[in-house]
Structure formats: structure tokens, C-alpha cells
Structure 1
Amino acid sequence: MTAPARAAGREIIVPGSIANLGPAFDALSVAVDLDLRVRIEEVGARPADAPDIALEGQVPATGENRIATAFLRAASMLGEVPPPVRVSVRSAIPMKGGLGSSAAATVAGLRLFEALTYPRDVDTWLRLATDIEGHPDNAAAALLGGLTLSCQTADGRVLASSWAWPDDLRFVVATPEAELETRFARTVLAPEISRADAIYNLQRALLLVRALETRRYDLLREALGDRWHQPARMQFVPGLADILALEHPAVLGACLSGAGPSVAVLATDPDAAAAEVRRVYDRLGMPYTIRILAARPPDAAALAAPSRLHQETP
């Protein structure tokens, strides 16, 4: 077990993520350089009778807190009560923006539990995070870093593979000031799709993986095509249709980020691409935020041993 004195003062760092990437709904996700940070401020000297977590800083004033939810779920599922803990939270990931804030908080709660007990294999955390989130894509990216491909088996296991995103390919992410709840965004999806649309998405999801592996960026625009979730969500995401239709050379391709409302443009010249994105939202007259993001590399520590706990530099 991690000694409480050693855990205090440490910081858990979990990245945000961009999921779906066009046709690869609930399958592909990439970790990006937006962080959720949970610092362990104080740990009780004795074990508690029940899990006890106090959160400070950037935490929701109302509603469910995913860090606490995941922490308590881990205690329940793994049958262990960690010592009481007080933590502070800082996050650069916008809430309800489609950039993996929920999955990052879930993974942070699981890692916090791990920090106060002992390391488990990453499969344990993948399964628990997927149980909480309802789908594995963002959780896999938050745990493993890099570009992740994930799926869930019939018996509930989560299989995931992570590899490096091309280092010269950036995301220009536009987040309009319009919230879109993931739960609601899922309700607008058709429960079934046609054979033609299924083939369309399957072809492009495979093409996307290969285009990224070989840096065939000329294929990205077509490879990001989708006939299922993006058309269904179009009316709820300001600017999405216009961004997907951009044909500037700097815009290599675009997709909805997660459930939205953030929209991600892939670019090797992110400044030029950002200028095109700004024109779209300025024309719409809607407040927005532009972020130029790099992908996080695969987390070797998470792949080799599950702990994603870092000692803060004095």
C-alpha cells in the first residue's frame, strides 16, 4: 500500500481527449494537451470506516462529481477502503465541451484510489472507467495517451491499443459557447443505420487509421467522413456544417469532437487553419474559443505499469 505520507503532495495528471474522429464512433480517441490535475493535499493517518474524499478548487457547484464518483466506485468494486483524503482540483479541459472532461475526471478518481492503495493492472481501470462512462473511447485515451483504438467484449472486458499520433499534425479546436450534454447528444442518434452507411463508415475508419500511420494527409478529408452521428447532431452544433465544408489548403480535414459542441480541424499549419475557423464563427456572430492542441504521446508508464502518479517538482 502507498504510505499516506508519500502520497500527500503528489499530483495526478490526466489528459483531455478528442473522440470519434469522424467515422470511428466509440472506437477511436486521441489524448490532447489539456490537463486535469488532482493534487493530494492531505491524507488521513488511519484507515476510514467508509471512503471519505473532500474536493476543493475547480469542482462542480452542483450535480455529480465524476472524480468522487469514480473514487467511491473503485472502493465498492475492489472491496477496499482507502484512508480519508483531501484533494485540490485544477482543469484546463472545458466542461461539457466534447473534449473528454468527464472521462478525465473518472480516470483521475480511479488513479486517486490507486495512489492511496496499491497499483492494479490497466485493464482493471479500463473496465471500471468504461462502466462509469458507458463507452471506452475517451477513457482509453485518458489512461493510455496517444491515439487509442478500443472496444468492449461480450463479457465486459475492454481491449485497447495505443500508438503515436503524427507529431506534425495539430488540432485546431473551436468551442462555441453552447453546451451539448453527451446524454442528450446520444438520444438523437438513429438506433440502426443502413448497410450502405455502415460500409461507408467502416471504409473511412480503416482509411483514417492507415492515413495517419503513413502520413497520407491528402486522404484525411475523405477519411474523416461520417454518415451517422455527425449528421444527426449537426443542428445542435453551431458552425459544424460550415467547418466540415471548408476547402482551404490548411484545413486537412475536420470532425466533431466527441459529442460536441467543440469541432476539431486537423492541420500541419494550425495558424492558417485557425484563421479559416475564426472566419466561420465570426460570420455566425457566436462567441467561441479557439485552441491549438497537440496530441499526447502514448503514456509509457501507463502501458508498462498502471500508475499515472507524478511527484511534483519542488
Structure 2
Amino acid sequence: MNSVTVRAPATTANLGPGFDSIGMALDMWNELTITRGEFSVSTEGQGADLVPQDTRNLIVTGVNAVFNHIGEPIPGLQYHCTNAIPFARGMGSSSAAIVSGLVAGSAISGADLSKEELTVLAADIEGHPDNVAPAIYGGCTVGVRNGTDKWIVDQVSVPEGLHAVLFVPEMLTNTHESRAVLPDMISRTDAVFNIGRAALLVNALSTGRFELLKYATDDRLHQPHRTQAFKAMPHLIEAAIKGGAHGAFLSGAGPSVLALSTGREVTISYEMAESARTHGVDGKPMIMPVAHEGASVVSSS
């Protein structure tokens, strides 16, 4: 195989209470083409002027991880990315890069790795499975670490028709900095609060009882602490619920806020944008379905 093109979806992580473990794929895609030849990296679209154009790029990390995994030398490759996913906005741009690199590396090397193998490699690179697992499997996933070197990932059945309504601020979020504000210790009360809501979230999604999402997407582990740096967040969540969303939460480390809906998407989008304007937050709303398929090979030659 001389060349391969793959695509990987945007994702939203945590979904409120499922910190570092629950994620969902969104119908917005980055595309990667790798071709045998002298090493180069080029990017167009979202984040083109921000992502590294060398071996530090996470797509290169993903491809290299496959060749290291199978014990083969890394060949010279040319990388070209076409990015639609907003960069550093809490929509899984880094996970899409890692996963597209892994899928492309698996194809061009002939390794033909399973989704389970791809997930282990991706989660080891990312450090947690909440974004990479749905990027690989599609839909909604729950991922947990089993011991020090294994991951367990399971899919949550999500009914068709569920949409994501996002408000995507212009400001960027550094995930490492966003995680640094989180406390190392939490109270038993807050732990019980999140355990119950994470369980309710999975049940509400799998049974289609979307009226429960208003309560199931609440959180005490990370959102209250991240509000310190993004004070408009609770107001955007409140506006989404007012507009008719079933539930709303900070998408990943933010700053994007995401609402889940099965109708009234335009109204929800308007309410979120208006709340953002009122609180002096520049950005744009987006509406997209949940992606029920994960990353895949588009073409090869």
C-alpha cells in the first residue's frame, strides 16, 4: 500500500459526571492522508497555524505507535491533514489526530489492528479513553483502566435522532492547565453525587429516557472548578436547558458547552449564543448529530 486516507470524528468527553471515562462521537470529521515518501507534515483547515508540522504532531505519534507495536521500522511518510474539528475547544481534536494516525498506520503497515488493539494504543498515548474510544467505536462509550496496562471499553447503545448543540467560544483551552485546577481529593458526598449521575446517564442514553438527562449530566468533580476560568459556563448550560435541551455540560476540558437534544436545536442554539453574547463570550454555535460510526479508512492505493 502506497497511500491511505482515513477520517476520524470529533468527540465530547465526560458528558458531565463521567470524568475521564465516558465519551461520545460527533458527526464532524478530520481527514488524514499518508503517502510513502520523504517525511513532511502539512495541515489545512482548523488549527492549521497552531499544530506542529513535524514529528511532534499527534498524527505522527499515532502512526509511529503502530510500527513500534508490530516491531517494524518506521518508513518515510508524507502526512496531509484536512481538519474540520475546532482546535483546543474540547471537541477531541487531539484524539482525532491520535486515532487517525493509528488507523492510517494500521492500514499502510498491513497490521490490520482490531478496535480493541487500537483503543489500547490510543488510550496509552492520551492517558485516558474518554475521547479516543468513541473516536474509534463511534456512538457513546465507557472506558476504564484495568490494572496498569489494560483498558476495558464498552459501547452504550444510543437511539437514533440524538443531536449535539454546541456553543464554541473563540478562546482556546489548554487541557493540561484545565486539569491542573482540579483538586486531588473530593468528599464522599461529591463522589456519591457523581457515581449516581454517571449511572443514570448511561441508563438514560441506553433506554432513550432523555428526560433524565437534565439531572444525569450534572457534575461536582470538574465543572465547578473549571467555572473559575470560564464563568459563563453555567449560564450557557442554563440557557440550553431553557431552550429545550435534555441536558447540557462542558465538553471535555472546554471551553465548548454541549447540549443534547431531540428537537428544538435552532432554539437551543439561539439561547446559548444569546447567553454567550450577554456574558461577553465570542464564539459560534454548531448543531450536529451523534456519529454512530468511528474512524475508518476512506480510500487506499
Same fold, TM exceeding 0.5? yes
C-alpha distance in 2 between matches for 1:267 and 1:95: 24
CA distance in 1, matches of 2:75, 2:180: 40
Give me the whole-angstrom Cα distance separating, in 1, the residues matched to 2:117 and 2:49: 27
Aligned to 1:75: 67
1:56 to 39, 42, 50: 42
Q: Which residue of 2 aligns with 1:108?
A: 100
TM-score, normalization by structure 2? 0.91
Mapped partners of 2:201, 2:226: distance in 1: 21
> 1:112-164, CA deviations, whole angstroms, 9 ceiling, x for partnerless residues?
21121120222221111111111111010111111111111113111111244
Letter in 1 for 2:282: P
Q: TM-score scaled to structure 1, two decimals?
A: 0.87
1:222 equivalenced with 2:210 (yes/no) = no
Letter in 2 for 1:281: A
Task: Report the number of matched residues.
Answer: 291
**Displacement after TM superposition at 1:72 (Å):** 2.2
For the pair 1:181 / 2:174, whether they are aligned, the reply is yes
* TM superposition shift of 1:96: 0.4
Q: Report what 1:281 is aligned to.
A: 276
Please list every run of 5 or more consecutive structure 2 residues that lacks an aligned counterpart in the other structure.
none
**Distance in 1 of aligned mates of 2:255 and 2:79:** 30
Counterparts of 1:154 and 1:163, CA distance in 2: 22
In structure 1, the residue matched to 2:298 is 310
**Distance (Å, rounded) in 2 between the aligned partners of 1:215 and 1:122:** 26
Task: Give matches, 1:1-314, under 5 Å.
Answer: 3-4=1-2, 8=3, 10-40=4-34, 42-44=35-37, 53-58=39-44, 59=48, 63=52, 64-118=56-110, 119-246=112-239, 247-248=241-242, 250-268=244-262, 269-299=264-294, 308-311=296-299
Contact 1:82–1:116 (CA under 8 A) maintained in structure 2: no
Q: CA RMSD in A?
A: 1.8
Do the aligned residues in 1 keep the contact of 2:247 with 2:259 (CA within 8 Å)? yes
- Identical counterparts, % of pairs: 33
| Structure possessing the higher radius of gyration over alpha carbons | 1
Q: Distance in 2 between matches of 1:19 and 1:278?
A: 21
* Offset at residue 60 of structure 1 (A): 5.2
Query: 2:273 and 2:228 mapped to 1: Cα distance?
Result: 20
The answer to whether the 8 Å contact 1:27/1:151 transfers is yes
Following superposition, the deviation at residue 265 of structure 1 comes to: 1.1
SS of residue matched to 1:96 = coil
CA distance in 1 between partners of 2:76 and 2:22 (Å): 36
- Range with greater deviation from structure 2 (191-200 or 154-163): 154-163
C-alpha change, 1:68 and 1:60, in structure 2 (3 Å) is farther
Contact 1:145 1:297 (C-alpha < 8 Å) held by counterparts: yes
